[in-house]
């Protein structure tokens, strides 16, 4: 009865969400302030996200005490861009977030625990009760200076070093999930990055990312990386070397095009510096993709996750002992398929399918993005797993895990975003 009542309440909240969202669309949306001079410029915008969704958890109860729950949230994001002269700019992205989900991602300050690369004092828990959480954080605050051959960025900024889409082992700082539909705002880290174009076809980047042990800066928790890239006969090649908070590594990325197919490869060889597993490991992702003139884009990738486990009963042990929280996969061999295309000029459809080749479990992520106007969009997404669920033996008090994605809950959500 309680679950049925919760379902009814979620339907009412969902209907209220739609009413509020479409009412907001009746008003014109523009930047709330914009200035452009001969050398200086400024643009201030707001983005409002309203989200409503539903999650159904698998058995056993020892993993998920709840059978299902709904979640509702609102995010107000302030976006500022300032150009100071010909070579300097400032970027700001900060948000206020409110959620009604009792088991919300942010409820135990997970946003600071999830990564050591963000100064904890830039997160503020404004209010928290059993029914509501209100918090705020800065996602980006960076100073940029650029010349004809170089770029310097200082401050909180998004950093991506990979070139694959589904499996991205060289993406060390807040990677998007392979099934993510909304990729508008990427989480930033506290960093200094310098990019220098050696020639028209070669470049080198030096990246330092501050790490924190609690509120204190820590070299052990910091990242320091060098990336050097060159284009030879239309083949882009890059080498990465350095350290993150959990390992020392050397990596590479390759991308090329042949017979109208995109070919991509990236991987790294790592020496762990934290956690119970001290053995060196290797990760590599290889993929092929094809684009058509009608906007259809298909990607197929294979991923060897060398520090993962082949035995499903070791998955939870791996998750507990693996200190790299950016590395979310627990198995060893994966395949992925991603399909994206425009059904109409305003409607984009996509679907991601991830397969654990060791235990046969699957994860499907459908998505839809509908552009209601230049300043508003509606996003529908979800995560639908398939695989044997875990079981708990009361006599031996042991948990028997049978598949990776059998541990995942089913989730569907609706998100509306408005800029003004």
What CATH number is attached to the domain comprising 237? 2.40.160.100
pTM for this predicted structure: 0.85
Contacts of 414 by beta carbon, 8 Å cutoff, 6+ apart: 14, 17, 51, 52, 53, 378, 379, 380
What span, in angstroms and rounded, lies between the C-alpha atoms of 282 and 15?
A: 48
Mean pLDDT (the chain, rounded): 86
Is residue 219 classed exposed, middle or buried when 0-12, 13-18 and 19+ CB atoms within 10 A define those classes? exposed
What span, in angstroms and rounded, lies between the C-alpha atoms of 192 and 153?
A: 6
pLDDT in tens, 19-34: 555 555 545 545 667 8
Q: Are 175 and 324 in contact (CB under 8 A)?
A: no
Q: Which two tokens stand for residue 392?
A: 């708990």
Residues spanned by the domain of 384: 2-419
| Overall domain count for the chain | 1
Q: Which stretch of DSSP H or E encloses residue 321?
A: helix 315-321
Can you say whether the dihedral through the CA atoms of 279, 280, 282, 283 is positive or negative? positive
Can you say whether the dihedral through the CA atoms of 127, 116, 212, 163 is positive or negative? negative
Q: Are 123 and 110 in contact (CB under 8 A)?
A: no
107 vs 134: which has the higher pLDDT: 134
pLDDT in tens, 230-269: 999 889 999 999 999 989 999 999 999 988 899 999 999 9
List C-alpha distances in Å: 164 to 168, 253, 267, 279, 284.
6, 9, 10, 26, 11
pLDDT in tens, 100-117: 864 444 334 443 345 689
Q: Which two tokens stand for residue 187?
A: 């989480």
């Amino acid at each position: 009865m309680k679950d049925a009542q919760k379902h009814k309440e979620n339907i009412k909240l969902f209907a209220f969400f739609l009413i509020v969202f479409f009412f907001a669309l009746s008003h014109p949306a523009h930047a709330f302030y914009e200035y452009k001079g001969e050398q200086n410029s400024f643009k201030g915008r707001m983005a409002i996200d309203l989200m409503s969704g539903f999650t159904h958890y698998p058995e056993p109860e020892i993993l998920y005490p709840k059978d299902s729950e709904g979640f509702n949230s609102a995010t107000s994001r302030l976006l500022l861009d300032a150009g100071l002269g010909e070579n300097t700019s400032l970027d700001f992205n900060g948000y206020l977030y409110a959620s009604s989900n009792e088991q919300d991602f942010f409820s135990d300050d997970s946003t600071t625990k999830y990564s050591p690369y963000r100064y904890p004092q830039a997160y503020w828990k404004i209010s928290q009760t059993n029914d509501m959480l209100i918090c705020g954080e800065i996602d980006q605050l960076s100073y940029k200076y650029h010349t004809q051959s170089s770029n310097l960025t200082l401050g909180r900024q998004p950093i991506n070093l990979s070139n694959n889409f589904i499996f991205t082992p060289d993406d060390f700082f807040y990677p998007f999930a392979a099934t993510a539909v909304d990729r508008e705002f990427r989480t930033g880290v506290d960093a200094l990055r310098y990019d220098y174009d050696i020639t028209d076809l070669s470049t080198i980047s030096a990246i330092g990312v501050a790490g924190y042990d609690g509120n204190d800066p820590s070299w052990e928790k910091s990242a320091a990386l060098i990336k050097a890239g060159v284009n030879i006969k239309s083949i882009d090649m890059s080498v990465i070397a350095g350290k993150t908070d959990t390992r020392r590594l050397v990596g590479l990325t390759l991308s090329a095009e042949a017979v109208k197919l995109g070919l991509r490869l990236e991987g790294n060889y790592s020496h762990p510096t934290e956690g119970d597993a001290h053995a060196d490991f290797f990760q590599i992702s290889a993929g092929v993709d094809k684009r058509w003139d009608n906007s259809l884009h298909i990607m197929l990738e294979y991923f060897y996750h060398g520090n993962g486990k082949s035995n499903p009963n070791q998955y939870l042990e791996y998750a507990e002992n693996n200190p790299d929280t950016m590395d979310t996969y627990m198995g060893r061999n994966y395949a992925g398929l991603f399909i994206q295309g425009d059904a109409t000029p305003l409607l984009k459809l996509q679907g991601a399918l991830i397969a654990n080749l060791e235990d046969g479990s699957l994860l499907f992520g459908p998505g839809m993005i509908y552009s209601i106007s230049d300043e508003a969009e509606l996003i529908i997404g979800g995560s639908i797993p398939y695989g044997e669920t875990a079981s708990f033996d009361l006599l031996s008090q042991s948990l028997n895990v049978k598949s990776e994605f059998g541990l995942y809950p089913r989730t569907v959500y609706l998100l509306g975003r408005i800029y003004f």
